[in-house]
Amino acid sequence: MKVLIVLTSHDELGDTGRKTGFWLEELAAPYYRFKETGAQIVLASPNGGQPPLDPKSNEPGFQTDDTRRFGADPEATKALANTVRLDAVPAGDFDAVFYPGGHGPLWDLAEDTVSARLIESTLRSGKPVGLVCHAPGVLRHAVNEDGTPLVAGRQVTGFANSEEEAVQLTDVVPFLVEDELTKLGGVYSKTGDWQPYVLKDGLLITGQNPASSAPAADALIELVTKGDM
């Protein structure tokens, strides 16, 4: 199995003067789930090179066994420092694509046509795509072959409005994931704040929040290895 993990290159949290980026747990937990299957993993980002880490995600209160393992793993940190430019990635080479969240993707990947085409072509070729937390917002410009929104009529989840309110960023982010997915016709649902929740609709897998990143990766692996598509 060959998996492409797509990370943000955006590091500014609106006009707050604070930094953002990808959320570490949402990379680390899936990374090791994929590694345990023997998967070959390629990391990519719009700008290539070292993607920005949301500094908050590496604070002691948000660290996990997986994040600590990742930080101490020379192979993993080297791959992270040298992500491939997304527009140079041969999408057809991969069996699955996975998007970690963090607030960063709302500014760059959500508006990135290369990313949108990658998601569309992956699904149309019969391969799964997984997105967690804020990353389902990246689906906002992805469309079906008839031009309708990709998420229309699909069971989806993503970072809930109540979770965004809890971190006091409702008025900072360019859009709210829950609202955007609903506006596009997605059949949005969620569970309690910060609790794991994953939905699978055909080849599309979405997870609500950081706690959903490992089970979302497990669902992606199941689709690839069991051919349950």
Domain, as residue range, for 82: 2-226
Residue 60 confidence (pLDDT) above 50:
yes
pTM of the entire predicted model:
0.97
* Cβ 139 vs Cβ 131: under 8 Å: yes
Report d(CA 165, CA 177) in Å as an integer: 12
Report d(CA 82, CA 146) in Å as an integer: 37
**Confidence category of residue 226, pLDDT binned at 50, 70, 90:** confident
CA distances from 194 to 126, 158, 164, 174, 177 (A): 31, 11, 11, 21, 15
Domain CATH code at residue 94: 3.40.50.880
Average pLDDT, rounded, for the chain = 97
Q: Which two tokens stand for residue 214?
A: 């490992």
pLDDT at 227: 66
How many domains, in total, are found in the chain? 1
Radius of gyration of the chain measured on its C-alpha atoms: 16
Lookup result for tokens 């192979």: 75
Average pLDDT, integer, range 49-72: 97
Report d(CA 6, CA 175) in Å as an integer: 20
Chain centre distance of CA 80: 15
Which neighbouring-strand residues pair with 205?
A: 130, 200
Lookup result for tokens 């900072």: 172
Average pLDDT, integer, range 181-207: 98
pLDDT at 91: 84
The pLDDT tens digits for 68-99 are 999 999 999 999 999 999 999 998 999 999 99
The pLDDT tens digits for 106-123 are 999 999 999 999 999 999
* Cβ 9 vs Cβ 107: under 8 Å: no
Residue 171 confidence (pLDDT) above 90:
yes
